[in-house]
Amino acid sequence: MNEAKRLYEGKAKIIYQAEEPDRVYMSFKDEATAFDGKKRGLIAGKGFFNAQISAALFQYLEGQGIPTHYLGRADERTLIVRRLAMLPVEVVVRNLAAGSISRRLGLEEGRPLHPPVLEFYYKSDALGDPLINEYHIRALELATPAQVAEMAALAERVNAALSPHLRERGLILVDFKLEFGLAEGRMVLGDEISPDTCRLWDASTQQPLDKDRFRRDLGEVEEAYAEVWRRVTGGESQWSGGPQSA
């Protein structure tokens, strides 16, 4: 993997060109950031867990008829994915109030949101990924109205598929972030689905099993990621380690 052409390195992943021009390798890192990069650290095994969890959930969604960029695994920390023309819009689906929506609207954390709330964010590190609406998206020419409608519809389908799937595994899908791109003009789900991009609470205790444990200094961060991996993939309850991220 180190010999492959590096296309991009972000806060959580490195993208390499694969042998086929329409495919890339998505390698997951152990590095963790929060609060627009102001807090940084390492979560041992995070790259391994997020790659495995994302692969399992993408495969499940494909089985539900939702198009994703997932094609396979190159190694324990690296996925083979379809190369997409990514749209600079993040779609957040909120089933329960938590995080920024609780602060913005004064909602008690854990309050159910019926129907689920969809929010759009402008994917821009320089601007801190600000909250935007359909009018901003149109004015900034980030996506067409038809593309926005398609992203929203796909996000709702992902939520309808994942919420019960995770609940069966003792996980409450509180909220999550999705990114979409185009492959030959077709809207496709990209990026990852993991404890980095989802708020996941234990169904029995309501304790977070996601990156909030890192953000809020709650401790047992690695154990939380490992527990989600175990429940989603059926992996062993104890992880013995894996290769370091590229």
Q: Is 237 exposed, middle or buried (0-12, 13-18, 19+ CB in 10 A)?
A: exposed
**pLDDT at residue 202, as a whole number:** 98
**pLDDT at residue 1, as a whole number:** 60
Look-up: residue for tokens 């185009």? 182
Q: What is the pLDDT of residues 147-200, one digit of tens each?
A: 999 999 999 999 999 999 999 999 999 999 999 999 999 999 999 999 999 999
The tokens describing 235, both together, are: 């992996």
**pLDDT at residue 246, as a whole number:** 39
> Percentage of residues in the chain with pLDDT exceeding 70?
94
**pLDDT at residue 97, as a whole number:** 98
Residues of the chain with pLDDT under 70: 1-3, 236-246
Report the 10 Å Cβ neighbour count for 140.
Answer: 13
Answer yes or no: CATH 1.10.3470.10 is held by domain 85-202: no
**pLDDT at residue 30, as a whole number:** 97
In whole angstroms, how far apart are CA 207 and each of 85, 108, 223, 231?
37, 15, 12, 15
Look-up: residue for tokens 């709650």? 218
Angle at 137 between CA 132 and CA 142, to 5 degrees: 125
Minimal CA–CA distance to 172: which of 144, 143, 199, 135?
199
Q: How far, in Å, CA of 97 to CA of 230, rounded? A: 26
Going from N- to C-terminal start, the domains of the chain cover: 85-202
Question: Helix/strand/coil (H, E, C) string of 187-205?
Answer: EEECCCCCCCCEEEEECCC
What average pLDDT does the structure give for the chain? Answer: 94
Chain Cα centroid distance, residue 55: 11
**pLDDT at residue 175, as a whole number:** 98
CA atoms within a 13 Å half-sphere pointing along the CA-CB vector of 70: 23
